[in-house]
Structure 1
Amino acid sequence: MMVSMQLSEVSTTPGLEVLRLLTGSRHLDRRIRWVYTTDLLAPRRYLSGGEVVLTSTTWRRRPEDSDYFVRMLADGGAVALMAGTAMLGAMPHDLVRACAQYEIPLFQVPDELSFGEIAETVIGRLHEERAGELERMVGRHRRLLHGFTRGDGLSAATDLLRTELGVASWTMSLTGRVLSGDCPRSAEVRRTAARHAAAAPRLPICRDTAEGPITLLALAADSAPQAPAQVLACAADLRDWSPTERETVEEVAEFLAAGLARRDESARQRRDQLARLAALLDRDDTDPARLVAGAPGAGLDLGAPHLLLRARIAGAAAPGELARQILEEMSAHLTPDGVTATIGTGPDSSAVAVLPLPDRAAPTPDELRELLDSFGPAVGGGDIRVGAGASDIGARGLRRSWDQAGHALLVAERRPDGPALIGIDEVDTFGMLLAGTPDSLRRSYCQRVLGPILDYDARCRTDLLDTLAAYLAASGSWHAVATQRHMHVNTLRYRIRRVEELTGRDLSQWRDRFDFQLALDLRRG
């Protein structure tokens, strides 16, 4: 807790009215933290910032000493200098010039006022303010604790900031969704602010927007750079806050973080249980009875329809947790009972969400994509891919939806230029097989089937591969391909015969046509 008084209050404090300001009137808004008395020429090491320095100027042996002494005060963060003239008889002009140069307010202390009286008066005021601030802090804590015991701690915290500081504040998710409080900012500004919070090296930060400044504080155990799940936002500029006001806001943020952690404990337990269920779903030999037994711990009723989503983010610092937060935001817009979990750790981690849908139809892939696109800025520089299974019921339905979402996710990841979210209904069986093919097998197969054609095209600067792809796409229609590629039918026949000669395959045989088509699809995927 930092307590201070303003420098301008010194001259109005009883007993200190006789102090005479010689220079520095523009800096009287500085805050005094303590009083330090010295006659050392180099007191820098004993200053920690915020001190009023008292000196009798016995350190001055020559005019240059004034510049050195005042520079040491400025480097140490002193807010003002109060100098007596009993030793020198008058205030040295070089000392006044140095104070003006280094922007250190200079007060002349008359002979009848002792340094002890100054120190006792200022420190006494600081102690009074400290006692008052302690009382106010205890009152704030009592109000916050009372709010949390009533179950409305989020609202109690934002109300406190409004009544004590006159600051509109609200809590929001990493996508800008308001969780509590009165938010005077538009949805677009909130989303932009949340994106800044996710990208910031540390919080708090302040960002200027078209609707005014927003200060963002992490609602977490620390202010680590990974995107916080919730932030406290204030419609104010932290750079304008006094130390006491900033401490008040930070206290509220700490209480909110602790309260949210307690409130979210049951949600964390459900997430942990869903992660354990995901490990069972990933095994082919899992007994469905184990899924039935574990589902209630994750808050799932397998007797009701549910939708399963799986997501992965490439290029994020903690991809699994960020993907889980995105799925949680999507879930919050669809159902209040959705459960999310992170799967695995490190750069290969991913996320899963199970959304109970007892009273509504499953959202279409287009609806899910629109929802996901609105959260895109929260991903930062990462590339999110999501697979959606079909709505299903029961333990076996959960397994089917898990597998379907996994296949759809693979297809989405294999298509970097395609949509970020793919539903299982948009993936045919052939596409699922291609998505599950390892990269090494893809390369080997493509080289074995298409290698001679690729080598020939590179060597002779021809386009046999494109001709073959067009021929297969047209189901072997000579006239259609010739028209499309603006060539004579005989030229087309020659090129297809050249493909057969190079590869040793016969395009009149369906197995060879299938091999060519499969290799082309694998190469494009």
Structure 2
Amino acid sequence: MRLRSLLAMPRLRLEVVTGEDELDRAIRWVVTTDLLDPGRYLRGRELVLTGLVWRTRPADSETFVRALAEAGVSGLAAWDLALGAIPADLVEACRRHRLPLFKVPEDVAFATVTEEVVRQLSADRAADLTAVLDRHRRLVEGTGLDAVLDLVGHCHVLAPTGRVVAGPPPHDPGALAEAFLTAPRLPHHVPALGMSVFPVAGGAVPRVADWFIASEGDFGDWPPERRDLTTELAAIVAIERARLDDSARSHRDLVAAAAAGDVARLRDAGLADAPYVAVAAAGGGDLRPEDVRAVLAEALPRPRAVGLLDDEVVALVPAGGEDVAAEARAALGLLAPGLPHGGIAAGVSDVATAPGLRAAVEEARYARRLAAARSAERPSPVCVVRHDELATHVLLLASVPDDVRRMFKVRLLDPLEEYDRVHGADLVRTLETWLQYSGSWTRCAERLHLHVNSVRYRIQRVQELTGRDLSRPEDRVDFFLALRLMGGDRP
């Protein structure tokens, strides 16, 4: 849209005050401001509307117009309601900086000007860009998404973690991502940010595994042409996402080779010398393994390969200075608002080179099982377990079937939990602390702020209720394991 087009809009009745020879300038957007120096909020090619609230003295006109000119603004439309005219100093400043100046009639609201210009811009873009976007649909594999977004303008492509995939960074990507994950339905307008969010896959995949588009304005007020344009853009983004997914699927062989300990295949793929960390993950609820693969590829720092292994997702991440487990936990935590309880459980191995990757994958998968068990006992949308949380007994417990683990815990601890519930005796905590201090009556009493005789009485009651003898090492081990199954790492 050109500045000249404003003169053809009958509702606006704008008049050119100065800059008749600059009316072929293009308008990208329309902005209303009453700041004296709004330059940092402008990106260029705007039509600026102002009521001159910023003007307290004639010299202010030079400051204001210079800021607009340096920002690359296309034109200025103004009216001073209190003065009833456009000040001569503003006209002179616009003439000096070659900035076209329009007079807005006193009975025409700035909102009317904005509405008319935005409607025309949307219609023009839809008409002009349909063919271009269609070509980019075919060419995007070679050009990328940024070239397409440059054409559309005021759009951003983001991952549900808030990572900016393409386009300039929006004001608050984290808030946009949370709005996308938690909106009751999509598309969704985010009034606080003045933007609307749209899914790329259109509901075909869970939001935590999708990308989304954020576009300025309330989609409910858009003309049909702009909605069609956004739909076309989503299709183009989906093509680019599919292309990247195809590349990721080619890494499944690397994951299989690591799990099998096939050092020759790993060496052929260039994984022989560098150290790696293995990560295993699985999802619950409606999350399919393929969805978890997409989530893990997004959450991990620079994964070398992410692929399916049986019903789990396994990733190989180059070992650098970062803490892979901490970064994965932080990224998955950002997705928690869009996950059900027990949504994703993940395990992270120690660092290993090619000969040790088989053991690293097994370690990560054991850690993932422990994470799943913890999520089941203490419902949480995300649980990540590190390799250093895997003691020998934990590895053993992770390999035991769930029904056996549950029965083992019930037989040993249910009588104590029921007694505590009825009498408030705190037997479970006393037993846990006593075992923690290797059966020391004194240290246990000090830790619980009890008399030693009270500790002795409680432990005696534990033995009576369970029929176990805590002087026997095997009975102590049984209780220790049962407490770990219950969540014995509580403070």
CA-based RMSD of the aligned residues comes to 3.8
Structure 2 counterpart of 1:340, one-letter code: V
TM alignment of 1:225-264, pairs within 5 A: 226-227=206-207, 229-262=210-243, 264=245
SS at match of 1:391: strand
The residue type paired with residue 438 of structure 1 is P
| Aligned-pair CA distance for 1:232 | 2.7
Measured in 1, the distance between the counterparts of 2:415 and 2:373 equals: 25
| Cross-structure match for 1:265 | 246
Is this contact kept in 1: 2:248–2:306, CA < 8 A? no
Using a 3 Å threshold, how does the CA distance of structure 1 residues 190 and 432 change in structure 2: closer, same or farther? same
Which structure: larger Rg? 1
Q: Using the alignment, how far apart are the partners of 2:422 and 2:144 within structure 1?
A: 73
Residue 143 of structure 2 is matched in structure 1 by 152
Aligned pair in 2 of structure 1 residues 498, 248: CA closer, same or farther (>3 Å)?
closer
User: For structure 1, which segment, 305-314 or 255-264, has the greater mean C-alpha deviation from structure 2 after superposition?
Assistant: 255-264
- Report deviation, 1:180: 1.5
Q: Aligned in 2, Cα 1:234/1:444: closer, same or farther, shift over 3 Å? A: closer
Which of 146, 157, 161 in structure 1 is aligned with 2:152? 161
8 Å contact kept, 1:170–1:180 = yes
Deviations 1:485-516 (A, max 9, x none): 56654555455455556655443333333233
1:172–1:178: 8 Å Cα contact kept in structure 2? Answer: yes
Asked if the contact 1:176/1:194 (under 8 Å) is kept, the reply is no
Looking at structure 2, the residues matched to 179 and 327 of structure 1 have their Cα atoms a distance apart, in angstroms, of 16
From 420, 431, 436, the equivalent of 2:399 is 436
In structure 2, the CA distance between the partners of 1:475 and 1:170, relative to structure 1 (3 Å rule), is: same
Match of 2:294 among 304, 325, 346: 325
> What is the percentage of aligned positions where both structures have the same residue?
32
TM-score of the two chains, using structure 1 as the length reference: 0.58
Q: For 1:141, which of 134, 137, 145 is the aligned residue?
A: 134
Name the structure 1 match of 2:82: none
Question: Which residue of the partner structure matches residue 388 of structure 1?
Answer: 348
Tell me, yes or no, if structure 1 residue 376 matches structure 2 residue 336: yes
The 3 A distance-change label for structure 1 pair 276 and 154 is same
- The residue type equivalent to 1:249 in the other structure is T
8 Å contact 2:413–2:482 — kept in the other structure?
yes
1:354-373 residue pairs with structure 2 within 5 A?
354-357=316-319, 360-361=320-321, 363=323, 365-373=325-333
Matches within 5 A, 1:356-505: 356-357=318-319, 360-361=320-321, 363=323, 365-379=325-339, 383-394=343-354, 396-416=355-375, 417=378, 420-449=383-412, 464-483=427-446, 489-490=452-453, 492-497=455-460, 499-500=462-463, 505=468
Q: Report the Cα distance in structure 1 between the residues aligned to 2:126 and 2:486, rounded to whole angstroms.
A: 70
Cα deviation 1:332-387 (Å, max 9, x = unaligned): xx22x53223455xxxx542221123xx3352644443344344345366633221
Instruction: Identify if the C-alpha distance between structure 1 residues 217 and 485 changes in structure 2 by more than 3 Å, giving closer, same or farther.
Output: closer
Structure 2 residue ranges without an equivalent (≥5): 1-8, 10-122
5 Å matches for 1:235-314?
Answer: 235-262=216-243, 264-270=245-251, 272-273=252-253, 276-277=256-257, 281=259, 286=260, 288-289=261-262, 292-293=264-265, 301-314=271-284
Q: Which of 306, 309, 313 does residue 351 from structure 1 map onto?
A: 313
| 342 and 230 in structure 1: CA distance in 2 versus 1, 3 angstrom threshold | farther
One-letter amino acid of the counterpart of residue 158, structure 1: L
Given the superposition, is the C-alpha separation of residues 322 and 211 from structure 1 closer, same or farther in structure 2, using an over 3 Å criterion?
Answer: same
Matched, 1:187 2:173: yes
Is the CA contact (8 Å cut-off) linking 1:215 and 1:236 kept in structure 2?
Answer: no
Contact 1:206 1:215 in 2 (8 A): yes
Gaps of 5+ in 1: 1-8, 10-129, 163-167
Aligned length: 361
**Deviation string for 1:153-176 (max 9, x for gaps)?**
4123212213xxxxx112222222
User: 1:216 corresponds to which letter in structure 2?
Assistant: F
- The one-letter amino acid of 1:152's match is T
CA distance in 1, matches of 2:126, 2:332: 46
- Give the drift of 1:210: 1.7
* Equivalent residue letter for 2:158: M
Q: Is the 8 A contact 1:328 1:338 kept in 2?
A: no
In structure 2, the CA distance between the partners of 1:458 and 1:293, relative to structure 1 (3 Å rule), is same
CA contact (8 A) 1:173 1:194 kept: no
Distance 1:409 1:266 in 2: 25
Displacement, 1:405? 0.9
SS of 1:445 mapped into structure 2? helix
1:208 to 190, 206, 209: 190
Match of 2:304 in 1: 338
Give the equivalent residue in structure 1 for 2:73: none
The change in CA–CA distance for 1:486 and 1:161 in structure 2 (over 3 A counts) is closer
